[in-house]
Amino acid sequence: MKKIIALSFLTLLISSCSTDSIKQKINKAGDVVGQTTGEFIEGAADGVQKAFDVKISLPKGLKEKGVEFGKSTISNDSIGKDNLLEVYVIFNKDYKGKLTAKVYDDNSLEMGRATVQLNGKMDETKYVAFHFDKRVNIDSKNKITVE
């Protein structure tokens, strides 16, 4: 008897709710889940970006010669994995010369070196790519210097 009363109550409760009301509640729940998922994905992407932020040591001598670095990124070239360093270079003075980037592991052992010829005029900017050997895999624990 209790089962019949409970079933009748449940039927009455469901029938008293309009389908529009049910749809609205489902849509609202879906919206909350979607926003939460979106925030999680955005947060995870920010975390990955912070984990792979590249810190480059620039010697004083290079800065005195008018070369300054802006944003830098690590990516893959066509055959390696995380072996391409791209640096936004700002020329505060005319500069012509070679730059050598070195990558060190978390034990301060050199693990890669790449050299580029650089020419720039005062107030000019450009992206410069340092291609390391395909076996170099730059990660967040590595230190990078340019000289």
| Residues 115/102, Cβ–Cβ less than 8 Å | no
Looking from the CA of 124 toward its CB, the CA atoms found within 13 Å total 12
Name residue 98's amino acid: K
> pLDDT value at position 4?
65
Asked if residue 48 has pLDDT above 70, the reply is: no
Mean pLDDT for the stretch of residues 65-72 = 94
> pLDDT value at position 127?
97
| Residues 134/79, Cβ–Cβ less than 8 Å | yes
| Confidence bin at 42 (pLDDT 50/70/90) | very low
The reported pTM is 0.63
> pLDDT value at position 27?
66
Radius of gyration of the chain (CA): 28
